[in-house]
Amino acid sequence: MKSLSKLFSLIALISFGTLSFAQEQTFIDFGDEQISKAEFKRVYLKNNSGEMVSKSTVKDYLELYLNFKLKVMEAEARGLDTVSSFVNELQGYRQQLAQPYLSADGVLEGLKEEAYKRLQEEVKVSHILVASGVEDSPADTLKAYKKALKLKEMLEKGAEFETTAKEYSDDPSAKENGGDLGYFSALYMVYPFETAAYNTEVGAISDVVKTRFGYHVLKVFDRRPASGNIKVAHILISSDPELAKTDQPETKIREIYDKLESGESFEMLAQQFSDDMKSADRGGVLPTFGIGRMVKPFEEAAFALEEDGDYTEPFETPYGWHIVKRISKDEIGSFEEVEQELTDRVKKDSRSNLTEGALLNKIKKQYGFSEKPKEKEDFYELIDESFFSGEWKKERAKKLNKTLFTIGDREVNQHEFAAFLAESTRKRKAIDASVLVNQQYAQFKRQELLDYKNQQLDEEEPEFRALMEEYHDGILLFNLTDELIWSKAIEDTAGLEAFYEKNKENYRWDKRADAVLYNAKDEETAEKAIKLIKEGLAEDSIQELMNQSSQLNLRYEMKKYEEGENPAVDSFKWKKGISPLLEKKGRIFFVHFKEILEPSYKKLDEAKGLITSDYQNHLEQEWVKELRAKYDFKVDQALLKELQEELD
């Protein structure tokens, strides 16, 4: 699998672009390509600015630049820019890079502001669903809508909502909860549903609202100020068979709770016992979250804590057993503080359809758009069972050649829509032919409008054109480097072994201890474990015997430690045998030193990652030497001196 981190590192390093600068002296002459002083200065400044960037001298950066250009020239000489995999990959990146240019100004900002306003409040809502899919026929859609209207009328005349929901709602959960969805805030439900909830008064019945699930009738039972954001710490004892360290998670969590009740530190217990390894080192502290961000039992338990420092009794979620401690609780931040998160969430939310609709209208207005919607109806009679069995061919529409719509200087005809339909055919549930054609036509028109705008970006947006050139060169460089350096170093076992033997002095172990680090609850437990060690029992057997009364009595870690690797092991004098006892963070530690290993050469398989990396660096240095000998180039030394005086 291609390493994206390597690719993006290369692109960041060599984001050079090739914008032209007329009437400029040539700084670097590659024969078929000339780089001006101004162009080199531009890319140097682009890649040597910012607080997080370690600035290179002009001369050092010039060497990187030359190496990059020579590698790209070699890739093009080998024809790598014509390979289908490269062309497809570059097209994929183009789609991503084009996204910022394919947006409707102002719409996104309005949606973010609306979402932020709604986030200040939570609504408690119940609903009744009358299911209706996008593939339903007009008759079935109308039937569902009329049923929803009838239910709304019943509720407005006094029918009890919960009973009505249990009897008539197509939401499976309604049989149990009577349609009750609890409290939620913005960006939690699909956008039309959310809007209906926020636009309906407490105690009132909403208008019928359409979503992709069907028709809904809502009742708002309460509004309250937003619960805000909460920061908690937790101790998790996992019930996942692959992660669990015990087959009795509830017993273990209750033992930990007893220790907490007796006054032991929550943070220390989390560090010692929590199975959530990401938070354990931080004393169990989790990132701040709000309503709708955690599984319901965890969220309810956390927000029920009234004061900072309060903690819950043990409770269960699908992940295992938890104890949660409240660290702090805050209101929702200012718009500026949460704007980036709002941007990300709005783009992923169903309301993003509004921004696309505005964009399509903008494209139509910018380039000119005319349509003949009646012409699509010619396809109604051509859709039959073959389309739903995946066998429909575009030749079915060979007699159709009318223009469907025009965008800019492009006319889109029925032949093209027929090809689109043929690509869309697959085995699926049969639906009304007119519904199918209308759906597919809407998608086809959307695709053609976006594609047309995309094709204009190279001419209209110089920054986009330069960025595409950077990705073009970056992917080429990645592919060739992977072929000649990275993959070769991994596959060339003979070359790797020869490199290792030649550079063996660079790969040495310092003094090491083959040891077992024990962690016991008290001195008595430690002494019993030491006795069992002396009797010759294996580590697993010792732990099993010592933990019969509690999973927390004894833990151990066994490996070969280097000096400085583990503070607990370094606390003892390294000599064969069993160390004295050491109290640390309320636990008792000791080490069984099985053997002290003197400095030695690392075997190839013991340091293969490091040796392979060094071998790759060696191969690249040799490759650069070959490229510099193969390709002619000339640097204007006078202009180099000028750049050094300006920039160094």
**Same CATH fold, 229-330 and 120-225?**
yes
Q: Which comes out higher in pLDDT, residue 24 or 458?
A: 458
Considering the domain delimited by 229-330, tell me its CATH architecture: Roll (3.10)
Strands, sheet with 34-36, edge to edge from the N-terminal-most edge strand: 34-36, 26-29, 634-635
Mean pLDDT, residues 542-547 taken together: 95
How many C-beta neighbours within 10 Å does residue 97 have?
A: 15
User: What is the SS3 assignment for 460-515?
Assistant: HCHHHHHHHHHHHHHHHHHHHHHHHHHHHHHHCHHHHHHHHHHCHHHCEECCEEEE
Q: Which CATH number is 120-225 given?
A: 3.10.50.40
Which band of pLDDT confidence, cut at 50, 70 and 90, is reported for residue 202?
very high
Which H or E run contains 407? strand 403-407
Contact 14, 68 (CB under 8 A): yes
How many C-beta neighbours within 10 Å does residue 584 have?
A: 11
Q: E strands along 162-228, which residues?
A: 180-184, 209-211, 214-225
Q: Could you tell me which of 18, 4, 12 has the C-alpha nearest to residue 54? A: 12
Q: For the segment 450-507, what is each residue's pLDDT rounded down to a tens digit?
A: 999 999 999 999 889 988 988 999 999 999 999 999 998 989 999 999 999 999 999 9
Structure tokens at 300: 């309810």
Is the confidence at residue 47, as pLDDT, over 70? Answer: yes
Which H or E run contains 596? strand 587-597
CA 584 to chain centre: 39
3-class DSSP state of 412:
strand
CA 564/CA 562 separation, integer angstroms: 6
- Backbone region of residue 182 per phi and psi (left: phi > 0; alpha: psi in -120 to 50; beta: other values): left
CA 626/CA 193 separation, integer angstroms: 64
Q: Answer whether CATH 2.60.40 is correct for domain 508-601.
A: no
Residue 51's pLDDT is 60
Q: Is the pTM higher than 0.85?
A: no
Indicate the pairing of strand 289-290 with strand 315-317.
unpaired
CA 38/CA 44 separation, integer angstroms: 10
CA 67/CA 37 separation, integer angstroms: 17
CA 54/CA 144 separation, integer angstroms: 64
Q: For the segment 163-197, what is each residue's pLDDT rounded down to a tens digit?
A: 999 999 999 999 989 999 988 999 989 999 999 99
Contact 128, 165 (CB under 8 A): yes
- Computed from CA positions of residues 424, 425, 427, 431, in that sequence, does the dihedral angle turn out positive or negative? positive
Is the confidence at residue 10, as pLDDT, over 60? Answer: no
Contact 211, 128 (CB under 8 A): no
Is the confidence at residue 246, as pLDDT, over 90? Answer: no
Q: For the segment 325-375, what is each residue's pLDDT rounded down to a tens digit?
A: 999 998 888 899 889 989 888 888 888 888 888 899 999 999 999 999 899
Q: For the segment 391-409, what is each residue's pLDDT rounded down to a tens digit?
A: 999 999 999 999 999 999 9
Q: What is the DSSP string of 254-289?
A: HHHHHHHHTT--HHHHHHHH-S-HHHHTTTTB---E
Which band of pLDDT confidence, cut at 50, 70 and 90, is reported for residue 46?
confident
Is the confidence at residue 91, as pLDDT, over 50? Answer: yes
Structure tokens at 413: 């005809």
Which band of pLDDT confidence, cut at 50, 70 and 90, is reported for residue 595?
very high
Is the confidence at residue 2, as pLDDT, over 80? Answer: no
Calculate the average pLDDT of the chain.
Answer: 91
Residue 43's pLDDT is 87
Residue 48's pLDDT is 83
Q: Could you tell me which of 421, 438, 427 has the C-alpha nearest to residue 385? A: 427
Contact 570, 563 (CB under 8 A): yes
Burial bucket for residue 274 (CB in 10 Å: 0-12, 13-18, 19+):
buried
Contact 560, 514 (CB under 8 A): yes
Mean pLDDT, residues 527-533 taken together: 96
Which band of pLDDT confidence, cut at 50, 70 and 90, is reported for residue 9?
low
Residue whose structure tokens are 């640390």: 584
Domains of the chain, residue spans: 120-225, 229-330, 368-459, 508-601
Structure tokens at 609: 């990652």
Mean pLDDT, residues 136-161 taken together: 93
Mean pLDDT, residues 212-229 taken together: 94
Residue whose structure tokens are 């709304």: 152
Is the confidence at residue 614, as pLDDT, over 50? Answer: yes
3-class DSSP state of 237:
strand
Is the confidence at residue 317, as pLDDT, over 50? Answer: yes
Is the confidence at residue 321, as pLDDT, over 50? Answer: yes
